[in-house]
A and B are shown apart, each in its own frame.
Chain A
Amino acid sequence: MTAMRARGEKRGGLRPAFLLKLFGVGFFVYLFFGFMLLPTLNTLTQIFTAKNPTTGATDPWAVIRFFLAGSMSKYLWNSVKLAVLLVVTVNVVGVSLVLLTEYFDIKGANILRMGYMTTLIYGGIALGTGYLFLYDSNGIITTLLINAFPGMNPNWFSGFRAVLFTMTFAVTSNHMLFLRNAIRGIDYNTVEAARNLGAGPLRVLWKVVFPTLLPTMFSLTVMTFITGLCAMSAPVLLGYDSINPEIVRLAGSSVADEAFPQARAALLSVILALFTIGLLTILSAYEKRGHYLSVSKTKARLVKQKINNPIANALAHIYAYVLFVVYMTPVVMIVIFSFQTHSAIQMKTLDFSNWTLINYVGQQDFSYLTSRGVHRVRQGAISGVFSNEATLGGIRTSFILSALAAAAACVIVVVACNYIFKRNKKGKLRRSGAVLEYSLLFPWLLPTILICYSYRIYFNSNDIWYVANQNLYYMENVRLLIIIAYMVVKLPFSLRMIKASFYAIDSELEDAARSLGAGGLTTFLRVKLPIILPSVLAVFALNFNALFTEYDMSATFASSYGTSYAMVLQSMTREEGLYGYNVNATGRRNASTVFIMLVSGLILYLVYGIGSRDLAERLQRRDKWRKRWDKMKGPFVRRKASMVNEQQNLIDIKDVAADFAGAMR
Chain B
Amino acid sequence: MIELKDIVVQFGDFTALHNINVHVKEGEFFTFLGPSGCGKTTTLRAITGFVEPVQGSVHVAGRDITRVPIEERNIAIVFQSYALFPTMTVYDNIAFGLKIRRLKKDEIDRKVRAIAKKLDLSDEQLKKAVSQLSGGQQQRVAIARSLVNDPDIICMDEPLSNLDAKLRVQLRNELKDMQKNFGITSIYVTHDQEEALTLSDRIAVFNKGYIEQIGTPNEVYNHSATEFVCNFIGDINRLEAPLVTALRQKGMKLDPAHSHYLRLERLSLGEESASADLILPGVVESREYYGLYIKYSIRLDGQVIRAIEKNDGVHIHEPGEQLNVGLMARDLMRYDAQGKAVTA
- Do A and B truly interact? yes
Q: Is the CB of A527 within 8 A of B152?
A: no
Give A531 to B86 CA distance when docked, in angstroms: 7
**CA gap between A4 and B60 in the complex, in Å:** 10
**26 A-B contacts (beta carbon < 8 Å):** A4-B63, A4-B72, A4-B74, A6-B68, A7-B64, A7-B65, A426-B10, A426-B12, A508-B81, A508-B83, A511-B48, A511-B83, A512-B84, A512-B85, A515-B76, A516-B71, A516-B96, A516-B149, A518-B71, A518-B96, A527-B85, A527-B87, A530-B85, A531-B86, A531-B87, A615-B131
Once the chains bind, are A5 and B128 in contact (CB under 8 Å)? no
Quick check: is A522 within 8 A (CB to CB) of the other chain? yes
Asked if A8 is at the interface of the complex by the 8 Å CB criterion, the answer is: yes
Minimum distance in angstroms from A522 CB to a CB of chain B: 6
Answer whether residue A619 sits at the interface, using C-beta atoms and an 8 A cutoff: yes
Closest 5 A-B residue pairs measured CB to CB? A516-B97, A530-B87, A512-B83, A616-B129, A508-B83
Once bound together, how far apart are the Cα atoms of A512 and B84, in whole Å? Answer: 8
Given A427-B11, A616-B131, is A511 in contact with B50 using a C-beta cutoff of 8 Å?
Answer: yes
Is there contact, CB below 8 Å, between A5 and B72? yes
In the complex, how many residue pairs between chain A and chain B have their CB atoms under 8 Å apart? 118
B37 to chain A, nearest CB (A): 14
Interface centre among A4, A512, A515, A616 (most CB of B within 10 A): A515
**Contact indicator per residue, chain A 495-514, by CB within 8 Å of chain B (1) or not (0):** 00000000000101101111
Check A614 for interface membership: any CB of B closer than 8 A.
yes
Q: Which residues of chain A are near B83, meaning CB under 8 Å?
A: 506, 508-509, 511-512
Identify the interface centre among A511, A516, A519: most chain B CB within 10 Å of its CB. Answer: A516
Is A4 touching B152 in the complex (CB atoms < 8 A)?
A: yes
Tell me, yes or no, whether B166 is within 8 Å of chain A by CB: no
* Contact among A1, A509, A514, A527 for B150, CB-based, below 8 A: A1
User: Which single residue of chain B is at the shortest CB-CB distance from A425?
Assistant: B52
Distance between Cα atoms of A425 and B50 in the complex (Å): 8
Measured CA separation A593–B81 after assembly (Å): 49
Q: Which residue of A lies closest to B75 (CB)?
A: A515
Complex interface residues of chain B between 38 and 79 (CB less than 8 A to chain A): 48, 50-52, 60-61, 63-77, 79
Task: Tell whether, in the assembled complex, residue B71 and residue A517 are in contact, meaning their CB atoms are under 8 Å apart.
Answer: yes
Determine the chain A residues whose CB is within 8 A of the CB of B71 once the complex forms: 514-519
Is the Cβ of B129 less than 8 Å from the Cβ of A614? yes
Can you list, as one digit per residue, whether each of A3-26 has a CB less than 8 Å from chain B (1) or not (0)?
A: 111111001000000000000000
Write the residues of chain B forming the contact surface with A, with a CB cutoff of 8 angstroms.
10-12, 48, 50-52, 60-61, 63-77, 79-81, 83-89, 96-97, 100-101, 127-132, 145-146, 149-150, 152
> A2 within 8 Å of B by Cβ?
yes
Contacts of A614 in B (CB 8 A): 86-87, 129, 131
0 or 1 for each of A588-602: is its CB under 8 Å from B? (1 = yes): 000000000000000
Task: With CB as the reference atom, state the residue of chain B lying closest to A509.
Answer: B83
Q: A533 — which chain B residues lie within 8 A by C-beta?
A: 87
A86 CA / B129 CA spacing, docked (Å): 48
Among residues of B, the one whose C-beta sits closest to the C-beta of A529 is B87
Residues of B within 8 A of A426 (CB): 10-12
Residues of A within 8 A of B74 (CB): 1-4, 517
A11 touches B69 (CB 8 A): yes
- On whether the beta carbons of B127 and A619 are closer than 8 Å, the reply is yes
Given A427-B11, A427-B51; A515-B77 close (CB under 8 Å): yes
Chain A positions within 8 Å of B12 at CB level: 426
**What CA separation (Å) do A597 and B62 show in the bound complex?**
68
Residue on B nearest A531 in the bound complex, by CB: B87
CB-CB < 8 A to A517: which residues of B?
Answer: 71-72, 74, 97, 100-101, 149
Could you tell me the distance in whole angstroms from the C-beta of B164 to the nearest C-beta in chain A?
A: 16
The CA of A334 and the CA of B50, in the complex, are separated in Å by 60
CB distance A516 to B86 under 8 Å? no
A7–B87 contact, CB under 8 A?
no
Asked if A509 contacts B11 (CB within 8 A), the reply is no
B85 touches A509 (CB 8 A): yes
Chain B positions within 8 Å of A508 at CB level: 79-81, 83
In the complex the two chains form, what is the Cα distance from A513 to B149 in whole Å?
12
Known: A509-B85, A512-B79, A616-B132. A1 touches B70 (CB 8 A): no
Known A-B contacts A508-B81, A515-B70, A517-B71; the reply to A619 vs B60 at CB < 8 A is no
List of A residues within 8 angstroms of B69 by Cβ: 5, 11
Between A1, A518, A531, A619, the greatest number of chain B beta carbons within 10 A of the residue's beta carbon is seen for A1
